[in-house]
Amino acid sequence: MLQGFFQIILMLVIFAIIAPLLGRYMAQVFLGEKTWLDRVISPVERVIFASSGLVNSKSMGGGQYVRAVLVSNLLMIVMVYLIFMLQGVLPLNSTGLSAPSWDLGLHTAISFTTNTNQQHYSGETTYSYFSQVGALGFLMFTSAATGIAVAIAFIRGLTGRPLGNFYTDLIVSITRILLPISIVGAIALLMAGVPETFAGPAQVTTIEGTTQFIARGPVAHFEIIKQLGENGGGFFGINSAHPFENPNNLTNLVETVIMLIIPGGLILTYGHLIDNSKQGWLIFWMVFIIYGVFIIIAAVGEYQGNPLVNEVLGSSQPNLEGKETRFGPFLTALWAVSTTGTMCGAINGLHDSLMPSGGFVTLSNLFLQIVWGGQGTGTAYLFIFLILTVFLTGLMVGRTPEFLGRKIEKREIVLASLILLVHPIVILIPAAITLVFPETLAGISNPSFHGISQVVYEYASAAANNGSGFEGLGDNTLWWNLSTSVSLLAGRYVPIVALVFLADGMARKQPVPETDGTLRTDTTLFTGVMAGSILILGALTFLPVLVLGPVASAFNF
């Protein structure tokens, strides 16, 4: 037990050291300040900007920014879908894989473009190397960069600055943040034992004399952007539980930290961009505490184990079902909380096998979307809660709600409410429809309360742009592929559109001078009220589902 908690503490310490450094660096990048990468990256960017016509790009208005995001993402979906449908005649298809079904290909293209990477397939048996690297690998960079660009535009708008140019921020996010870290990280994973090859499956003879084919591929570079970009889509069907994606404790440590650093760092980037680092740090530690509590709940539940199994064994044993022995209950619990908190969605153990406390925490992360939040857009959710907290506390004390020198009025509250309401709508309504027809639509592999969790988790994962699942669900069907695609699109683009228009409206407001009556948002008291508002709003929205799922499962033991 002590060793497990030591490993968790070590990861948290490393993360707490790296996140502020990256947060400051990202602030320098988007403030246009000089960085140590300028000498290497600037010439590359000049070529890209010159060839794309972005040399003298101007800042976009809200409508222009939204159109740029939607049109570019639509073109990416179409391009990748065509690659899937033509993969049988495209190169780098050493196993001769044919095209997937039209609905699976559409779901995969939408899923990866929305930075969700929800997989209703096994990568090694469905998509060729060309499809994995040329299509999915491409989307892992562009979808993550889209989220970062939107988050930065949102922060700029809150401070009264122009939103910026989407295409410029998209390219800069890749060249200055995602690509450099991915190159270094891929080399580190390669040195730690993760393969990188375009050779076909290895053919070996087992000790029983039979022939076995072992899937492999260009995994190292795929794995690092999967974690760094909050993508989560595995090269292999069992994701980071596969020894080629995550072979040992060192790679597990690296991959866990990597999935946390950008969403954690962006909170501190926000503090730098608004010139109030104190507020950035207060929000960072608020999320850190919630994250730590969730880890404890999940880890203790896995350590105590299944009481029914313990009764048979006559002793208390950790819950090892669905876990890799090289990671054990603690690192699996840590990963589960981290991957659902950051909206990464990668797994190193089966979430379906978590104890009810672990299921409660992972579902709560998907419902709240702020621990630590998704790639960029999830971080913006924090500031939506911050705006709502300013509005609520302002009403309670009789002060005009103001945030960063600008009044919070009806338009901002309507847009903030839309962002928060679309999430439960695209989870609960399709989940209810699916559960009405458990035999024909749901494909549930577990009865009773756990089956409810399986269905709700799948839609929550899609709406939160996470991609993980309570596997065991028969989800590669026409219903699941199309219904979750609706949740994927609505969960991604409705909040993005609302975020951009909210930020654009704030940028156009006349600043209000700060007075003694101005409600300060950079205090411990306000941050505590904000934390309470997040948890209360989340509980009011999703508590009935949690009671019917993991809470009821816990009482079944």
Task: Give the rounded distance of the alpha carbon of 99 from its chain centre.
Answer: 28
Question: What pLDDT is stored for residue 55 in this prediction?
Answer: 63
Q: Which of 117, 321, 146 is nearest to 223 (CA)?
A: 117
3-class SS letters over 345-389: CCCCECHHHCCHHHHHHHHHHHHHCCCCCCCCHHHHHHHHHHHHH
Contact by Cβ (8 Å): 130, 83: yes
User: What is the amino acid identity at position 475?
Assistant: D
Q: Which of 151, 152, 115 is nearest to 136 (CA)?
A: 115
Question: What pLDDT is stored for residue 409 in this prediction?
Answer: 85
User: What is the amino acid identity at position 394?
Assistant: G
> Tens of pLDDT along 272-305?
998 889 999 999 999 999 999 999 999 999 999 8
Tokens of 531: 């934390």
Q: Is 510 exposed, middle or buried (0-12, 13-18, 19+ CB in 10 A)?
A: exposed
The residues facing 402 across adjacent strands are: 407
Tokens of 450: 């756990």
- Residue 512 CB neighbour total at 10 angstroms: 14
- Residue 8 CB neighbour total at 10 angstroms: 20
Q: Report the chain's C-alpha Rg in angstroms.
A: 23
Q: Which of 467, 484, 490 is nearest to 433 (CA)?
A: 484
What does the alpha-carbon distance between residue 471 and residue 234 come to, in Å, rounded to a whole number?
Answer: 14
Residues 6 or more apart from 236 whose CB is under 8 A from it?
122, 123, 124, 215, 219, 242, 244, 245
Q: What pTM, to 2 d.p., does this model score?
A: 0.93
Question: What pLDDT is stored for residue 512 in this prediction?
Answer: 78
Question: What pLDDT is stored for residue 540 in this prediction?
Answer: 82
What does the alpha-carbon distance between residue 230 and residue 339 come to, in Å, rounded to a whole number?
Answer: 8
Tokens of 300: 């203790």
Tokens of 216: 């492999």
Residues 6 or more apart from 174 whose CB is under 8 A from it?
141, 142, 145
Tokens of 42: 């600037």
What does the alpha-carbon distance between residue 466 and residue 344 come to, in Å, rounded to a whole number?
Answer: 6
Contact by Cβ (8 Å): 256, 14: no
Question: What pLDDT is stored for residue 265 in this prediction?
Answer: 93
Residues 6 or more apart from 486 whose CB is under 8 A from it?
426, 430
**Helix H or strand E encompassing 84:** helix 62-85
Task: Give the rounded distance of the alpha carbon of 215 from its chain centre.
Answer: 27
What does the alpha-carbon distance between residue 129 and residue 478 come to, in Å, rounded to a whole number?
Answer: 25
Mean pLDDT by 10 residues, the chain (557 residues): 80 94 94 89 88 78 94 96 94 89 95 92 90 94 94 91 92 95 95 91 87 90 93 90 93 94 93 90 94 94 88 85 90 94 89 91 90 74 86 78 84 90 93 85 77 90 89 85 95 93 90 75 88 84 88 83
Residues 6 or more apart from 69 whose CB is under 8 A from it?
146, 150, 166, 493, 496, 500
Contact by Cβ (8 Å): 401, 395: yes
3-state SS class at 188: helix
- Residue 456 CB neighbour total at 10 angstroms: 27
Question: What pLDDT is stored for residue 49 in this prediction?
Answer: 86
Question: What pLDDT is stored for residue 181 in this prediction?
Answer: 95
> Tens of pLDDT along 541-555?
888 888 888 988 888
Question: What pLDDT is stored for residue 355 in this prediction?
Answer: 92
